[in-house]
Structure 1
């Protein structure tokens, strides 16, 4: 028989290692390893030109996530370097649900490797994040 592959499972074997380590997404306002002084200073001072902006006002959380995910995939394809995500402040005591969820979305395995730095777009505005994205290779 041609094309037949035999797979043998070994109990207790370690999981296969990825070819390159997955980089965790940076936390908001915290300089990530690999981000040089000049880029960090430019990002935190708002000196990067924003290539695209996503406004999530008025969405429920699931719809907001779907829009965010499509936007991030498109930003990869388009080669955008700096994008802004607007969530708004929210009306609750702890802020809006989308605003609370966005940091979790940034740590997803398919999104985290794209993000180099995350800051609030302005110190007085906690309802928007500016993301510096990794260059496409």
Structure 2
């Protein structure tokens, strides 16, 4: 008897919930599945295949059209390496820089800094050099000592490759062949 009462209560609750439900599209008739179209068989004519396919329209986004589009690549700045001449640098500037004959406008000493602080100081220094239109700067990293020797010295070329610093730099050299604890950086300058 108790089970029957519970079942009736459940059914009445269910009817209360269901009575407010309205179909989304009551007037839309149920559609019947459309059979696939029968392929038309035509005589195959040998066609000339053009050597170069015409460029696809902007509206055609099929996979084949995407593959046919020419790939536009932005020229990436060449990787910066210490002591290697960059393309676009004239002979006179390169010789003067590599021989240590260029006047150094400013010097940054990173001795005693942890890597994160050294990076922040270098970033600030490079932006200041750009704002002041300096031509040649020197960054002293030190050779390092201990188990983690020379972390700043090893990280410096990677920092100079960053997208916000690389456009400023023309070339990087060690001012002394025997001492790799500092680098001289030739910067791009604004024309006066």
TM-score per shorter chain, which class?
Answer: 0.7 to 0.9
Cα pair 1:22 1:113 within 8 Å, conserved: no
Deviations 1:84-121 (A, max 9, x none): 00000001478411001001001000101100010001
State TM-score, norm by structure 2. Answer: 0.59
Among candidates 114, 117, 134, match of residue 63 of structure 1: 117
Instruction: State the superposition RMSD in angstroms.
Output: 2.3
State TM-score, norm by structure 1. Answer: 0.82
Q: Looking at CA atoms only, which structure, 1 or 2, has the larger radius of gyration?
A: 2
Cα pair 2:80 2:157 within 8 Å, conserved: no
In structure 1, the residue corresponding to 2:107 is in which secondary structure? Answer: strand
1:118 match: 172
Q: CA deviation at 1:23?
A: 2.3
1:78 match: 132
Tell me, yes or no, if structure 1 residue 38 matches structure 2 residue 92: yes
Q: CA deviation at 1:24?
A: 3.4
Q: Which range is displaced more, 90-99 or 117-126? A: 90-99
Q: Structure 2: 5+ residue runs without aligned partners?
A: 1-60
In structure 2, the residue corresponding to 1:100 is in which secondary structure? Answer: helix
In structure 2, the residue corresponding to 1:35 is in which secondary structure? Answer: coil
Q: CA deviation at 1:26?
A: 2.5
Greater RCO, CA 8 A, separation 6+: 1
Equivalents in 2 of 1:62, 1:72: separation in Å? 15
Q: CA deviation at 1:136?
A: 2.0
Equivalents in 2 of 1:36, 1:132: separation in Å? 12
